Amino acid sequence: MDVIVVGDRAELAKARQALRIGGAVSPGRAALALVPTMGALHEGHRSLIRLAREQAEHVAVSIFVNPLQFGPGEDYTRYPRTFDTDLEVCAAEGVSMVFAPSADDMYLPDRQVGVSAGGMGTIVEGVFRPGHLDGVLTVVLKLFNLVQPDVAVFGQKDAQQLAMIRRMVADLDVPVSVVGAPTVREADGLALSSRNRYLSSHERRTALALSQALFAGAAEPTPEEVRRTARAVLAGEPAVEVDYLVLVDPATFEEVGADHRGEAILAVAARVGSTRLIDNVTVTL
């Protein structure tokens, strides 16, 4: 089946009808899974689509560079837009529908109401990108309302985003099951990201310090040693400008204490040249 490309919200109902979404499905499978993206699809996105196909009869991929989650001076205008190539990826991965609205389709010109990320949106990533998580939650809720998926798949690489989406779904009783997918990495450990294409070959080698720091920290047995080891690795690469390195509770993103046991997220954000990268690993203490 060819991929159905939907350009605006008015076409969504027709597309759902064409796919007969809402009818009978195989036992244990949902009717429709959504993979929200901003395009520039890579192997990490392919892994999300494949996981979504395991969950549902049909997979929809949204491709929308969301202006609400970019702050002043960030890379909204230069964010890679590769729509034709993205469609080829979706077709190869068996996607049923691509929803690719314009900003005018998504947001009314006199828009007043959005989703607030609350206190959790003001810590860690929220310190350095004020309002970013508000913009993420607003567009995700709109996509849920428009596409009406049963399941939505997000990458663990954006761990705070994933935690906040789960919190929103729980707090607002959104009837969507949220599934997290493992981070996909290059053979040398660099987490896949659409922004990696901004890196020069030298900067890419420098960026390996992020994953090296995370893996080194994750091998330690206590919160204090996890933080100290990871910071030491980053300090050994002065070309990496660190925004934060934190060890946090996976559900709340509050820093864990010295006596914490069980799972935690070791997360980092840093600039390499002009490119800001994020990464994280799960640590068992």
Give me the helices (H) in the chain, please: 12-19, 43-55, 83-92, 103-106, 125-128, 132-147, 159-171, 201-218, 223-235
- The values of phi and psi at residue 116, to 5°, are -95, 130
Output the CA angle 121-246-118, nearest 5 degrees: 10
- Whether 40 has a binding-site annotation, put simply, is yes
Q: How far is CA 280 from the centre of its chain?
A: 12
- Whether 45 has a binding-site annotation, put simply, is yes
Active-site residue (options: 45, 58, 132, 260): 45
- Whether 260 has a binding-site annotation, put simply, is no
- Whether 47 has a binding-site annotation, put simply, is no
- Whether 142 has a binding-site annotation, put simply, is no
Task: Please indicate whether residue 58 is annotated as part of the active site.
Answer: no
Cβ atoms within 10 Å of 67's Cβ, excluding its own = 14
- Whether 200 has a binding-site annotation, put simply, is no
- Whether 158 has a binding-site annotation, put simply, is yes
- Whether 34 has a binding-site annotation, put simply, is no
> Residue 101 is encoded by which pair of tokens?
């609205």
Annotated binding site for ATP: 38-45, 155-158, 184, 192-195
Annotated binding site: 38-45, 69, 155-158, 161, 184, 192-195
Q: Which residues carry out catalysis?
A: 45
Annotated binding site for beta-alanine: 69
